[in-house]
C-alpha cells in the first residue's frame, strides 16, 4: 500500500470505528446517561443524518481549497468531536457531538477517494480507493469489537478516548505522508462543483449507491433475529457470524477495487446480479445454520465488492470537479442505509416473515441493477454518437486533404 493511502486508511479506520462502535456500547451509554436503550439508539440515527446533511455543506465550503489541508482539517474535526463525545456530561451533548463529528464523514471519504485516485496511475485508481476504504472494513473487524470490549471493561468513555488517540495518529500521518505537491492546485470552485451535478450520469451513479446500500440494510438491520429465530443460532454465535460478515467485507473491498480497474460498469452490474440471487439464497437456506453462515460471508463480500467501483464511477463521471459529487455519494450510501432499514421494518410490519425478508433486499438490488444497465446503455450511446461525429469530421476533411 502506498504510504499516502495508508495514511488515509488510518483515518478511515478511525471514522469507521467512530460510526459503528456506539452500537456495541448502547447498554453502557444508556445506563450512564439515564436514558432507555432505544433512546440511546438514536445516536446511530443522529450520526447518519449528520453525514447526509454535512456532506454537501462541507464539500461546498471547501470547494476552492487545496485538498490536503482540507483532509487534515476533517481528521482534526473527528479528533475534537470524539473528545467531546468522551467528556459529554449528558445525552444531548453526546448527540450534538456525534452529529457535528459526522459532518466531516462524507467529505473525508469523498475528497479522500479523489486524492487516493490521483496518487496512482489511471488503471489502478479503483484499487487505490479500495485501499483507502480498507480502513473502514477493518474497523468492523477490529475497531468495533476492540472498542466494545474496552468500553465494557473501563466504561464507554474510554472507547472514545482511544478513538481520539487513533485520530491524532491519522492527522500526523496525513500531514507527513500525503504529498503536498499533488494537492497544490485548488478545486474548480463552488460553481464548477455545482455545475457538474447537472450530469445525469452522476445522479445515476449516486442512485445506484443508495439502492445498493438500501438492499443491504433492509436485511442487515434485522440480521440478529434472522439468525436467532430462523437459523437457530445463539446470541453469542451471532457475534462471530457478524465478525465473519466483516471479514467478507474486507475481502470484497480488495476484489472490488481490482475488478473495477479491469471493467468498471460490468463489475457493478455483475455484482448487483449476484446480490439479487444471494439475498434469495439466504431466504431459502436461512433455516439451516451452516448454510446461512456461509451465505452471510458471501453476502458480506458482495456488499463491499460494489463500493470501490461505485465511488470510482462518481469520480469519473464528475471528473471536471469531483469533490462535491464524490462527497454526495457518501451521503447517498448513508441515505440508502436509513431508507433500507425503514423499508425492511415496514415489510415486517406488513407481515413479511424474517425468513422472507431477504427477498425485499433482492427487490431493491434489482432496482439498482436496472439503473446500472440504463447508465451503461447511455454510456454506449454517447460513445457511438462521439464516434459518428469524429468519423463525420474526418470524412469531411478528406477532400481537402487531397487538394
C-alpha 342/C-alpha 363 separation (Å) is: 15
What is the C-alpha separation between 149 and 313, in angstroms, rounded? 38
Q: How far apart are CA 363 and CA 276, in angstroms?
A: 7
Distance of alpha carbon 11 from alpha carbon 120, whole angstroms: 19
Domain 1-187: CATH superfamily, name plus number: MFS general substrate transporter like domains (1.20.1250.20)
155 Ramachandran zone, left/alpha/beta (phi>0; psi -120 to 50): left
**How do residues 8-30 score in pLDDT, each as one tens digit?**
999 999 998 888 788 778 788 88
pTM here is 0.81
Per-residue pLDDT of the chain (403 residues; tens, 9 = 90+): 678 899 999 999 999 888 878 877 878 888 899 988 778 878 877 888 888 888 888 888 887 788 889 999 999 999 999 999 999 999 999 999 999 999 888 889 888 888 888 888 888 888 888 888 888 888 878 888 888 888 888 999 999 999 999 999 999 999 999 887 544 445 556 777 777 788 899 999 999 999 999 999 889 878 888 888 899 988 778 878 888 888 898 899 889 988 988 888 999 999 999 999 999 999 999 999 999 999 999 999 998 899 989 988 988 888 777 778 888 888 888 888 878 888 988 898 899 999 999 999 999 999 999 999 999 999 888 887 766 665 565 556 556 555 5
* Rounded-to-integer distance, Cα 13 and Cα 7, Å: 10
In angstroms, rounded to a whole number, what is the distance separating the alpha carbons of residues 312 and 319? 10
**What pLDDT score does 387 carry?**
64
CATH number of 188-393: 1.20.1250.20
Phi, psi of 199 (to 5 degrees): -80, 125
Q: What residue ranges do the domains of the chain occupy?
A: 1-187, 188-393
The dihedral through the CA atoms of 111, 112, 113, 117 has a sign that is positive
Would the CATH topology of 1-187 be identical to that of 188-393?
A: yes
C-alpha span between 290 and 308 (Å, rounded): 30
Confidence at residue 375, expressed as pLDDT on a 0 to 100 scale: 93
Ramachandran angles phi, psi of 30, nearest 5°:
-60, -45
Amino acid at each position: 500500500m502506498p504510504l499516502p493511502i495508508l495514511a488515509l486508511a488510518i483515518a478511515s479506520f478511525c471514522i469507521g470505528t467512530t460510526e459503528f462502535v456506539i452500537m456495541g456500547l448502547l447498554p453502557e451509554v444508556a445506563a450512564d446517561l439515564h436514558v432507555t436503550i432505544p433512546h440511546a439508539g438514536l445516536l446511530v440515527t443522529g450520526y447518519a443524518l449528520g453525514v447526509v446533511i454535512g456532506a454537501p455543506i462541507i464539500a461546498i465550503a471547501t470547494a476552492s481549497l487545496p485538498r490536503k489541508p482540507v483532509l487534515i482539517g476533517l481528521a482534526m474535526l473527528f479528533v475534537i468531536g470524539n473528545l467531546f463525545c468522551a467528556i459529554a456530561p449528558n445525552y444531548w451533548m453526546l448527540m450534538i457531538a456525534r452529529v457535528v463529528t459526522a459532518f466531516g464523514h462524507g467529505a473525508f471519504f469523498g475528497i479522500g477517494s479523489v486524492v487516493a485516485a490521483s496518487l496512482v496511475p489511471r488503471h489502478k485508481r479503483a484499487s487505490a480507493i479500495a485501499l483507502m476504504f480498507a480502513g473502514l472494513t477493518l474497523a468492523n473487524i477490529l475497531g468495533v469489537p476492540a472498542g466494545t470490549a474496552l468500553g465494557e471493561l473501563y466504561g464507554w468513555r474510554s472507547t472514545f478516548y482511544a478513538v481520539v488517540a487513533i485520530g491524532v495518529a491519522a492527522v500526523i500521518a496525513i500531514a507527513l505522508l500525503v504529498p503536498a505537491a499533488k494537492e497544490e492546485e485548488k478545486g474548480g470552485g463552488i460553481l464548477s462543483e455545482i455545475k457538474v451535478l447537472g450530469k445525469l450520469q452522476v445522479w445515476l451513479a449516486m442512485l445506484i449507491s443508495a439502492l445498493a446500500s438500501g438492499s443491504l440494510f433492509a436485511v442487515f438491520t434485522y440480521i440478529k433475529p434472522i439468525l436467532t429465530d430462523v437459523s437457530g443460532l445463539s446470541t453469542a454465535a451471532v457475534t462471530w457470524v457478524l465478525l465473519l460478515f466483516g471479514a467478507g467485507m474486507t475481502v470484497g473491498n480488495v476484489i472490488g477495487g481490482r475488478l473495477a480497474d479491469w471493467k468498471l460498469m460490468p463489475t457493478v452490474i455483475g455484482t448487483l446480479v449476484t446480490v439479487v440471487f444471494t439475498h434469495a439464497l439466504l431466504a431459502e437456506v436461512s433455516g439451516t445454520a451452516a448454510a446461512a453462515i456461509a451465505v452471510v460471508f458471501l453476502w458480506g463480500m458482495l456488499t463491499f465488492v460494489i463500493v470501490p467501483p461505485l465511488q470510482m464511477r462518481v469520480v469519473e463521471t464528475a471528473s471536471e470537479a469531483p469533490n462535491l459529487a464524490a462527497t454526495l455519494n457518501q451521503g447517498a450510501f448513508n441515505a440508502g442505509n436509513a431508507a433500507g432499514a425503514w423499508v425492511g421494518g415496514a415489510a415486517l410490519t406488513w407481515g413479511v416473515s424474517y425468513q422472507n425478508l431477504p427477498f425485499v433486499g433482492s427487490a431493491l438490488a434489482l432496482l439498482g441493477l436496472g439503473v446500472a444497465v440504463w447508465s451503461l446503455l447511455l454510456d454506449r450511446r454517447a460513445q457511438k454518437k462521439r464516434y459518428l461525429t469524429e468519423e463525420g469530421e474526418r470524412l469531411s476533411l478528406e477532400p481537402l486533404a487531397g487538394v
